[in-house]
Amino acid sequence: MHSSASSIQTMRLGLIRKLSDYLYHHPRTTLALLLGPPLLWFAVMYLGALFALLANSFFRLDDYTGQVVRELGLNNFIELFQPANRDIVIRTTLMSLLVTLACALIGFPIAYYMARYARGAKKALLYVAIMLPLWSSYLVRLYAWKLLLAKEGAIAWSLEKMHLTWMLDAVLSAPVIGGNSLSFSPLGTLIVFVYMWLPFMILPIQAALERIPPSYIEASGDLGAKDSTTFWKIILPLAMPGVAAGSIFTFSLTLGDYIIPQVIGNSTPYIGNVVYTQQGVAGNIPFAAAFSLVPIIVICVYLWFAKRKGAFDAL
Amino acid sequence: MRSKPPIALNVAVWAGVAFLHIPLLLIIVYAFSAEDKSYIFPPPGLTTKWFAVAWERDDVWRAIRLSIQVACWSTAIAIVLGTLAAAALARTKFFGRDFVSILLILPIALPGIITGIALRSGYNALDIPFSFWTIVIGHATFCVVVVYNNAVARLRRTSPSLLEASMDLGANMFQTLRFIILPQLGSALLAGGLLAFALSFDEVIVTTFTAGQQTTLPIWMLQELIRPRQRPVTNVVAVIIIALTFIPIIAAYWLTRGDEAPAAH
């Protein structure tokens, strides 16, 4: 009894050993076994879905039945070049560029300080301070801005206490950026976009700055450069790949977002809003699919520019 | 060599940090506000009664439960797929390796709306009705990369001589996996899992496109943002969400302090 059990045990161990040896001597098989499940999942669930999206963009909606007609055609893409749609694409791209610029201007000093001056506990604290907002709830942060920017909210109150209400009124009555209150103005939309994506800009710039060898900066000083010359001629050019990497995030995140303009702003539509309403209320998935290819194309063009700036070395 | 930072830089840095954190602090203040009709600041009075009101709300509880269930399933799937992918890609080089790593990042690199509408088109093409599982599939897909990143960073840090020593001492591959690799990987997987959980728990865009009638907590929050019905309850839920997401993030950061790529990067 006992011996037969242990012989089964030995046999099992022998099998495991054989299997282990087999896998050890056939690394390709091991690789296929490891890679199989994730690759299958991504091929079916994700590439399949992207393919369905692409296919859908060539379908059309039957005007009478409201059903999707699965015939290939270019109607959706012709529709994209209508002036109204073209304006939306231009507006969204412009907003994405503005957000990227603002993030770079606000983010650079923070990243610079983290990389060059902060040490030890202070550095860790700053790192967590940047990372926490990045990972905490997007909607809660958006809600916080609804509270901050409201007509009766904290910003208006603080300005009133500083007797600066006239300044707020002047900004809000300005064309294009103004509105009823900050909460309903394009300026508000811009501020919230910048707030949301700022950490995505800071972290890659900091990483790029950390990689600059201190000897470069010492060499520059030894050769007689002033601190400001060293900054403009050595540090800034070497940090540019980080800025470019960060800008990929800020640009593409703004381009695809439809929730921020829906909650903060004067409800001028952006690309995301059109995609959302077309697939939802209008039930026109084909047109929504075609429109959602626009940000992909814009991002690809942007990536091409970023690659030339060396952004991918800093990711 | 390293001198003191210029005053202007100091100001810019701390103003930036304040900009990032004041909104979060404000959320906490508003949860105790006695006002229930507007967003008035400063709050006319402070009270804790809204916590009790929110506690009684069935719709909030249902949304929290659904979100936790979705996040648990997505995290579980992401841990399995992400670990397998990391094991395959960490050290071996093969044709198409870059393609696979880009494929893993794509769902999170492309704007959520594209992932969302792609999944929706896919379900539509296959006539799959929306359900709990259509949400889980979407969330799991973009969570894989977080687990993968953490696991790959840890595997690359683990010295190959450990594995060789284990094999030299007569352990087979499974014993090496069980006694050497998994203990090394453990905290990185835990961190990746926590981040995946936080990511799924907070996801709204992909969920909107794959949920049908299901209301997760972010969908509930979004409805309140667009059409505020009971502001004080929303204020309280916002604080609860912050608390629920801060814990896994801080824990994940702490677990992966030494790795080459910090967890939440």
Backbone torsions φ then ψ of A309, nearest 5 degrees: -85, 0
Give the pLDDT mean for A247-274: 86
Give the separation between CA B257 and CA B263, rounded to whole angstroms: 8
Q: In the predicted model, is pLDDT for residue A101 greater than 60?
A: yes
| Closest Cβ opposite residue A42 in set B2, B104, B246 | B104
Neighbouring-strand partners of residue A68: A61
Among A105, A137, A152, most B C-beta atoms within 10 A, so best to mutate, is A137
Tokens (6 digits) for A58: 């060539």
A1 has a pLDDT exceeding 80: no
> Which helix H or strand E contains A145, and what residues bound it?
helix A138-149
Q: Is B193 on the interface with A (CB under 8 A)?
A: no
What distance in Å separates the CA atoms of residue A272 and residue A289, rounded to the nearest whole number? 11
Residue corresponding to tokens 């770079």:
A104
CA separation for the pair B214, B198 (Å, rounded): 19
**Rounded distance between C-alpha atoms, residue B212 and residue B207, angstroms:** 9
Residue B261, pLDDT score:
47
Residue A99 clears pLDDT 90, i.e. is over it: yes
Question: How many residues in total does chain A contain?
Answer: 315
Provide the shortest C-alpha distance from residue B172 to chain A (in Å). 6
- pLDDT reported for residue B262: 45
**Do the chains contact at B141 and A45, CB–CB below 8 Å?**
yes
Average pLDDT over residues A220-248: 85
Residues in chain B with CB shorter than 8 Å from the CB of A253 are 111
Q: How confident is the model at residue B2 (pLDDT cuts 50, 70, 90)?
A: low
Establish, for the pair of chains A and B, how many residue pairs have beta carbons separated by less than 8 Å.
256
The overall longest dimension of chain B from CA atoms, in Å, is 73
Q: What pTM was computed for the model? A: 0.84
Q: How many CA atoms does the CB half-sphere of A48 hold within 13 Å?
A: 17
Nearest-angstrom CA–CA distance, B235 and B27: 7
pLDDT tens readout for residues A23-70:
777 777 778 788 888 888 888 888 888 888 888 888 877 777 777 777
**Closest alpha carbon to B14 in A130, A205, A147, A195:** A130
Confidence check: pLDDT of A116 > 50: yes
pLDDT at A298: 83
User: Which residues numbered 241-270 in A keep a CB inside 8 Å of some CB on B?
Assistant: 252-253, 255-259, 262-263
Q: Rounded CA gap, A122 and A72, in Å?
A: 59
**Nearest Cα residue in chain B from A256:** B111
Helix ranges restricted to H, B90-230: 97-109, 112-125, 132-157, 160-168, 173-176, 182-202, 205-210, 217-226
Say what angle helices A83-116 and B7-31 make with each other, to 10 degrees. 110
DSSP-based three-state secondary structure for B46: strand
Is the CA virtual torsion A39, B120, A252, B72 positive or negative?
negative
Asked if A47's CB is within 8 angstroms of B88's CB, the reply is no
Chain-chain contact of A34 with B120 (C-beta, under 8 angstroms): no
Distance from CA of A27 to the nearest CA of B (A): 9
Q: Can you tell me the ipTM of this complex? A: 0.82
- Kindly indicate the confidence band of residue B263, based on its pLDDT and cuts at 50, 70 and 90: very low
Structure tokens at B116: 């969302």
The four Cα atoms A183, A186, A189, A191 give a dihedral, to 10 degrees, of -90
Q: Which residue bears the tokens 């940047």?
A: A130
Residue B166 scores a pLDDT above 60: yes
B144: Cβ contacts below 8 Å, ≥ 6 apart = A38, A41, A42, B77, B78, B81, B82, B85, B104, B107
Structure tokens belonging to residue B65: 């439960």
Interchain contact B243–A (C-beta under 8 A) = no
Q: How confident is the model at residue A5 (pLDDT cuts 50, 70, 90)?
A: low
Evaluate whether B41 touches B259 at the Cβ level (below 8 Å): no
Lowest average pLDDT, out of A191-195, B30-34, B131-135, goes to B30-34
**From B40, which residue of chain A is nearest by alpha-carbon distance?**
A152
Amino acid letter, residue A18: K
User: Which structure tokens are listed for A241?
Assistant: 């790949």
